[in-house]
């Protein structure tokens, strides 16, 4: 060590780094607190950005000429409200509407070979299956689609065909619901957006067959509306709204366009992302407290060393800088590792979502997030070291060397 410590010759940084190495366990635990906080923030922000980008892409895939009609005036009400049987005809009579397809749903017990499992069955007017196909919701990969004359024939999703039952389901095989035999005439492509993902593990059949299976007269749980070419979607939306309100006598339904739904989803994701990042930041604050505690203990243990440093020429500023550097290094190392862990977590989560849900999803790791996370971790480290470094720099060298 030189006879006089100088801030500009790198000696202080060397001393700070050596001190951290000499206390590996304590330094490691302090770094771990920063890692947890930074990793959580990076992972949550990256997943949020990826989710937002994925949602925007999903709505773009659905097209800008599509409306979705749902029951109820809000989320809670939609759980109990129903659309009416003749809503599809009402909508199709509106000027500017090319077609309207009602989608009906029921849960049943399905038997294949010796296995019985609960599944979702969707149905619609078979003559309009092509309309759902043009929206990217029902697209046949093997076999053929349903036609108006079909009875007892079904389409099945790719995950239902392979992986849902012990044995793989092939074309022309029979499934059984109650006493009804259903023949597989088509296997759907794996949907790559969430509007069609509901068919990935389900059965799709005609409305007539679905009502025969359930023994009930069903109402649509949603209606997909295709706008005629050249029509203003907002104008047509108002016409559809007025027609349904007149037919129902009240507004007990929701009409959303891809753009509206995208904006709402984006706002909701942003709020959730902010809340989760705030929660993750709490762990980073906890990490800062751990650093402060570590540095205070270090000051107490190294009182004699501080006295020696002052005796050989170290100024109060030099002493303060050593401890601030130690805290900053803890923040830097924790930040670097935390960013790497956060990227790994978000990447792993996006892969899991893709595999489990069958949706295209990729976490978005922004360089800005990485830079801000690293800067934030260093700032937390430095702030956590302010009090301990001040305590150390104010020690009386004579009294310190006696301890």
What is the tens place of the pLDDT at every residue in 193-216? 666 778 888 999 999 899 888 888
Torsion of CA 145, 147, 149, 150, to 10 degrees: 30
CA-to-CA distance for 373 and 377, rounded, in angstroms? 6
pLDDT at residue 399, rounded to an integer = 62
Q: pLDDT at position 289, please? A: 78
Confidence (pTM): 0.60
Q: What's residue 95's pLDDT?
A: 92
pLDDT above 80: residue 155: yes
Cα(132)–Cα(226) distance, rounded to whole angstroms?
Answer: 10
Q: Which of 272, 266, 284, 302 is nearest to 383 (CA)?
A: 284
Contact criterion met (CB below 8 Å) for 172 and 185: yes
The CB-side HSE value for 208 (13 A sphere, CA atoms) comes to 11
Q: Region 123-136: what's the mean pLDDT?
A: 79
Q: Is 132:182 a contact under the CB 8 Å cutoff?
A: no
Q: 192: pLDDT confidence band, cut at 50, 70 and 90?
A: low
Cβ distance 337 to 306 under 8 Å? no
Whole-Å CA distances, 189 to 90, 182, 196, 250: 31, 20, 10, 39
Q: Using CB atoms within 10 A of its CB, is residue 101 exposed (0-12), middle (13-18) or buried (19+)?
A: buried
What local confidence, expressed as pLDDT, does residue 194 receive? 64
Segment of 64-73, 88-97, 137-146, 250-259 carrying the highest mean pLDDT? 88-97
Return d(Cα 118, Cα 340) in angstroms, integer. Answer: 42
Between 97 and 276, the more confident residue is: 97
Distances (CA, A) of 255 to 66, 73, 142, 283: 10, 9, 34, 41
> Exposed (0-12), middle (13-18) or buried (19+): which is 109, by Cβ within 10 Å?
exposed
pLDDT above 50: residue 174: yes
DSSP 166: S
Confidence of residue 243 (pLDDT cuts 50, 70, 90): very high
Average of per-residue pLDDT values in the chain: 80
Give the whole-angstrom CA distance, residue 91 versus residue 299: 76
Asked whether the predicted pLDDT for residue 4 surpasses 80, the reply is no
- Dihedrals φ, ψ of 239, to 5°? -65, -45
**Of residues 58 and 93, which shows the higher confidence score?**
93
Percent residues over pLDDT 70 in the chain? 78
Q: What is the pLDDT of residue 266?
A: 67
74 CB-near residues (< 8 Å, 6+ apart) = 254
Crossing angle for the helix pair 367-393 and 258-301, to the nearest 10 degrees: 20
The DSSP output letter for 215 is: T
Query: Strand, coil or helix: what is 277?
Result: helix
Which tops the pLDDT comparison, 365 or 95? 95
The answer to whether the CB of 334 falls within 8 A of the CB of 290 is no
Nearest Cα neighbor of 233 from 253, 254, 251, 256 is: 256
State mean pLDDT over 130-147: 81
What's the pLDDT score for residue 232?
87
Please list, residue by residue across 192-206, b when 16 or more beta carbons sit within 10 angstroms of its beta carbon and e when fewer do. bbbbbbbbbbbbbbb
How would residue 5 be classed by pLDDT, with cut points 50, 70 and 90?
very low
pLDDT value, residue 238: 92
**Greater model confidence, 289 or 313:** 289
Which of 67-76, 247-256, 372-381 has the lowest average pLDDT? Answer: 67-76
Q: Which one is predicted more confidently, 30 or 56?
A: 30
Residue 164 pLDDT more than 80?
Answer: yes
Asked if the model's pLDDT at residue 340 lies above 90, the reply is yes
């Amino acid at each position: 060590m030189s006879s006089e410590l100088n801030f500009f010759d790198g000696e202080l940084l060397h001393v700070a780094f050596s001190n951290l190495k000499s206390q590996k366990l304590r330094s490691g635990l302090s770094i771990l607190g920063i890692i947890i906080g930074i990793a959580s923030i990076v992972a949550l922000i990256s997943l949020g950005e990826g989710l937002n980008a994925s949602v925007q892409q999903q709505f773009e895939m659905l097209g800008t000429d599509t409306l979705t009609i749902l029951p109820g005036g809000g989320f809670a009400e939609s759980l109990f409200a129903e659309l009416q049987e003749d809503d599809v005809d009402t909508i199709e009579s509106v000027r500017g509407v090319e077609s309207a397809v009602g989608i009906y749903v029921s849960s049943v017990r399905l038997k294949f070979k010796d296995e019985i499992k609960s599944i979702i069955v969707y149905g619609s007017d078979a003559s309009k299956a092509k309309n759902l196909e043009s929206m990217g919701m029902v697209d046949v990969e093997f076999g053929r689609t349903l036609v108006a004359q079909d009875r007892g024939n079904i389409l099945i999703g790719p995950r239902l065909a392979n992986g849902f039952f012990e044995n793989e389901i092939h074309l022309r095989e029979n499934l059984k619901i109650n006493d009804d035999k259903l023949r597989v005439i088509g296997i759907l492509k794996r949907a790559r957006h969430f509007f069609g993902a509901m068919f990935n593990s389900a059965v799709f059949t005609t409305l007539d067959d679905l009502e025969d299976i359930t023994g009930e007269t069903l109402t649509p749980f949603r209606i997909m509306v295709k706008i005629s070419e050249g029509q203003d979607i907002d104008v047509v939306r108002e016409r559809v709204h007025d027609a349904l309100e007149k037919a129902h006598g009240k507004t007990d339904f929701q009409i959303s366009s891809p753009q509206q739904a995208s904006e709402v989803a984006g706002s909701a994701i942003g709020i959730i992302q902010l809340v989760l990042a705030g929660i993750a930041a709490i762990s980073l604050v906890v990490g800062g407290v751990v650093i402060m505690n570590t540095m205070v203990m270090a000051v107490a243990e190294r009182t004699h060393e501080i006295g020696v440093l002052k005796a050989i020429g170290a100024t109060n500023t030099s002493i303060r800088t050593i401890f601030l550097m130690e805290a900053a290094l803890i923040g830097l190392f924790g930040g670097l590792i935390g960013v790497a862990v956060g990227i790994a977590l978000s990447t792993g989560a996006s892969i899991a979502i893709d595999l489990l849900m069958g949706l295209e999803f990729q976490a978005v790791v922004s360089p800005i997030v990485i830079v801000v996370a690293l800067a934030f971790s260093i700032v937390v480290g430095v702030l956590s070291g302010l009090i301990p470094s001040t305590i150390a720099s104010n020690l009386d060298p004579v009294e310190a060397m006696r301890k």
